[in-house]
Chains A and B, each alone.
Chain A
Amino acid sequence: MDLLDFARGPALWTSIAVCILGLAWRLSAILRRPARPDWSEPRSTATSAGALRMIVRRTWHHETFRERTFLSSLNAYAYHVGLALVFFGFLPHIEFVRRLTGLAWPAVPGWLFVLAVAATFVGLGWALIARLTNPVLKLLSGFDDYFSWGVTILPLITGMAVISLALDQPYPARPLAPVPVAIHLLSLELLLVWLPFGKLSHAFLVFLSRGYTGAAFARKGAEP
């Protein structure tokens, strides 16, 4: 078994398993914590709608906070949307998923892919600079913040090394240069392994956290 076989085989399945089991453990540990009943007379019983409302409402800041948070929000969107486009919209990635699951969808056009890569790099770079220089972010940041940043940008960097092989070609079953592809895949697997343990889990926790507050606020009739 060479490095690519390893990356495509045991490493891939192990990382997916760690990711799923780790997330399940983390979420179940949260949900196993006790929840006291709330006996107060609700102003509204539409708590599920409240949860959904909060999930949607907090996708963008309230207008009053614009002056202070517009640029950081915009930047967060730049690299989140960029990452999503790169991850889900790049033809070789879709091919990879298709080979594994049989599922496929249309790829994004080449120019949009290039734009997404650029936005993601710039966005993540800016996020790191902000974390290293802004006194609030510096104070809050710890190992998780920097490591999570690292495992997020690593697949992008390793992907750049193989990009010329595949941008305008159909995905070859056996790449001409297997080692860079293997490294790229391994970097993604590192991200998957880390995801349940650090802040990257916010991809899932965001729904729980906004949902809780949204439901509680709706109960009180408070705005999300």
Chain B
Amino acid sequence: MSDIDATHPVDLESKRFSIRKPEVRYDKQGERPDSDRLAAAMQAFVQDMGRAAATYLESCIHCGNCAEACHFYVQTGDPKYTPIWKLEPFKQAYKRTVGPFAWLYRALNLKHAVTVEQLQEWQHLLYDSCTVCGRCSMICPMGIDIASLVSQARHGMFAAGLVPHELWAVAERAEREGSPLGATPKVFADRVEWLADDFEVELPLDRPEAEVLVTFSSIEIMKYPASLVATARILQHAGYSWTLSTKGYEATNFGLLSGNAAWQRDMTMKLVDAAIACGAKVLVLPECGHAYTALRWMGANAYGKPLPFRVLHISEFLAENVQNGRLRLQKVPKSLAFHDPCQVSRRGGAVAAPRVVLAALGVELRETRDHGSLGWCCGGGGGVVTIHRADPLRYKAFEIKMSQLDATGAELTVTSCGNCRQTFDDGQAHFGWARTMGSLLELVAANLRD
């Protein structure tokens, strides 16, 4: 499969960035016997079955409530999209291998053994129809964090070589080239130089020492370069000594999304090493949801000890600097609706930060009916937006978001995740929707007050 990107190059023309729609799909990676795939999946499953996962897998009472929180079920009414059902093979593996009564389950075949055919069928459920948004985790009466289990189950799927073609391809590219969308270190350096010249901003690259290391997502680098310029203006305005690094600039982590823990670690360590190399006290993550999960909440675990610097999502960085007076903003006399990126708000605990910034901008914040920790996902997280065959389902999920945003009647809509943004751009084009999703960061940069 090493020729996969030559066969399926990155598509930077469409509204959402992925690889071009594959003519022939390779949803089964590599050539090996099914028994090997199964053994690899089972080994990875069992590795992930720690105390929390075991508690969750023992606790489900099959009440079905989680279905009612998931956009994919709510919009289709198809029971297979019930969140906990997406974990059925993981649960089967658990009950038959490490569960307290595993011998009984095996002896009486109370749970069937997992098969490769089943895993292939579940690929659609564990990837195409789960954005790992965690909304289901908010409804479960047993408090089961279903989304965390989906991420773990993906490890087994990756080990078995059963990842959706596009997601595998971009993850592999990210591991090999340093970016899922072709933003290699050289491309990154070139774009930084171009932006610095064209927009007359300082974008310091590879400074040996800096207080703040700023990172981006390749969605921004390739699709929303204005975000890079906006970030530079903000850091300059706030008077920080900062740098970008060609050694660690890509904050997206397709190792996490695809389910390859080793790649996830590699991607994380590039950022960690870059921050340590320049002695940064703070690493600022871009407008990207899963980057926050990957580094803020999982990064230190890849490092094996506490990180020697703080990790802030850009919305938190903005909020802190609004509060400490380093960022002075002019008022924006408009009504605005904010889309909470699931990984930052619900999963990351940073619901308040963007609202602090919006309050400083003086906008009239019109919240959607469901917002903050209970907001609906845009439908494109968890790598779903890369998968072409998931488009019809994703658009269905997107309809909830559109209608809730429309109901606010707000003049502006902004978010703080580039991946959500491209999902909105794509949804906007698909539905001919009147709204355009903007960026909180860019709104702030456009309203800096001297």
Residues of A in contact with B (beta carbons under 8 Å apart): 25-26, 29-31, 33-41, 43, 54-55, 58, 61-62, 64-65, 68-69, 72-73, 76, 134-143, 145, 197, 199, 201-202, 205-206, 208-214, 216-217, 220-224
Which chain B residues (364-387) contact chain A, with CB distance < 8 Å? Answer: 369-370, 372-374
A145 CB contacts on chain B under 8 angstroms: 62
Q: Which 5 A-B pairs have the closest CB atoms?
A: A221-B349, A210-B143, A29-B100, A39-B300, A68-B68
DSSP class of A's interface residues: helix, strand, loop or mixed?
Answer: helix
Closest residue to B141 on the A side, CB-wise?
Answer: A58
A43 CB contacts on chain B under 8 angstroms: 349
| A132 → chain B closest CB, angstroms | 13
| B307 → chain A closest CB, angstroms | 7
Distance, CA A43 to CA B296, complexed state (A): 10
Q: A206-B142, A209-B143 in contact; A30/B54 too (CB < 8 A)?
A: yes
Stretch at the interface among B5-13, B78-86, B240-248, B422-430: B78-86
Q: A30-B100, A72-B63, A139-B79 in contact; A39/B139 too (CB < 8 A)?
A: no
A197-B104, A210-B142 given; 5 more Cβ-contact pairs under 8 Å: A33-B51, A40-B301, A55-B143, A73-B141, A212-B52
**Residue B101 CB within 8 A of the other chain:** yes
Q: Are B369 and A64 in contact (CB under 8 A)?
A: yes
Looking at the complex, which one of B62, B98, B370 makes contact with A33 (CB distance below 8 Å)? B98
| A146 → chain B closest CB, angstroms | 10
9 pairs across A/B with beta carbons < 8 Å? A29-B99, A36-B50, A39-B303, A134-B64, A139-B79, A139-B80, A201-B58, A209-B58, A222-B348
Q: Are B56 and A209 in contact (CB under 8 A)?
A: yes
Distance, CA A197 to CA B105, complexed state (A): 11
Closest residue to B145 on the A side, CB-wise?
Answer: A213
Question: Of A73, A143, A145, A209, which is in contact with the most chain B CB atoms at under 10 Å from its CB?
Answer: A209
Distance, CA A36 to CA B145, complexed state (A): 17
Q: A220-B348, A220-B349 in contact; A40/B52 too (CB < 8 A)?
A: no
A35 CB contacts on chain B under 8 angstroms: 50-52
Q: Are B145 and A65 in contact (CB under 8 A)?
A: no
B63 CB contacts on chain A under 8 angstroms: 72, 76, 137
Distance, CA A206 to CA B346, complexed state (A): 22
Which chain B residues (44-91) contact chain A, with CB distance < 8 Å? Answer: 49-56, 58-65, 67-69, 73-74, 77, 79-80, 82, 84-85
